[in-house]
């Protein structure tokens, strides 16, 4: 991943993905040095099950450092600004060398 891009993760047919996209849009503005990518899950991983969406993968120096898979792990539709703090922490950590 290259630094400087501000794309966002978005999976349009699952409501929680829309909610997470709103939070990640704010994070992209806070952390312009972090690259946020979006994709349709089955485009990246053929036959990726909807039950695993949304999924967030965190990479640093080309290696996956963390992953959050599915609605329960991400807090469901109760995702709040407080939950965003955790995502902010991971985004910040990804920028530290």
Is 4 contained in some domain? no
pLDDT at 12: 56
Structural domain total, the chain: 1
Percent of the chain scoring above 90 in pLDDT: 3
Bigger pLDDT: 21 vs 48: 48
Do residues 65 and 34 touch, judged by C-beta distance below 8 A? Answer: no
Is 28 contained in some domain? yes
Is 8 contained in some domain? no
Domain that holds residue 47: 15-95
Is the predicted pLDDT of residue 89 greater than 70, yes or no? no
Is the predicted pLDDT of residue 62 greater than 80, yes or no? yes
Is 3 contained in some domain? no
CA distances from 59 to 34, 38, 77, 83 (A): 10, 14, 25, 20
Q: pTM of this prediction?
A: 0.68
Is 6 contained in some domain? no
Q: What is the CATH number of the domain that holds 43?
A: 3.40.30.10
């Amino acid at each position: 991943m290259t630094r400087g891009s501000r794309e966002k993760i978005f999976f349009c047919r699952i409501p929680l993905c829309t909610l997470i996209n709103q939070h990640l849009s704010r994070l992209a503005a806070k952390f312009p040095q972090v690259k946020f990518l979006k994709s349709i899950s089955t485009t990246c991983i053929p036959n990726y099950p909807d039950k695993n969406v949304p999924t967030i993968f965190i990479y640093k120096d080309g290696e996956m450092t963390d992953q959050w898979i599915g609605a329960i792990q991400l807090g469901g539709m109760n995702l709040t600004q407080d939950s965003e703090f955790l995502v902010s922490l991971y985004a910040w950590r990804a920028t530290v060398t």
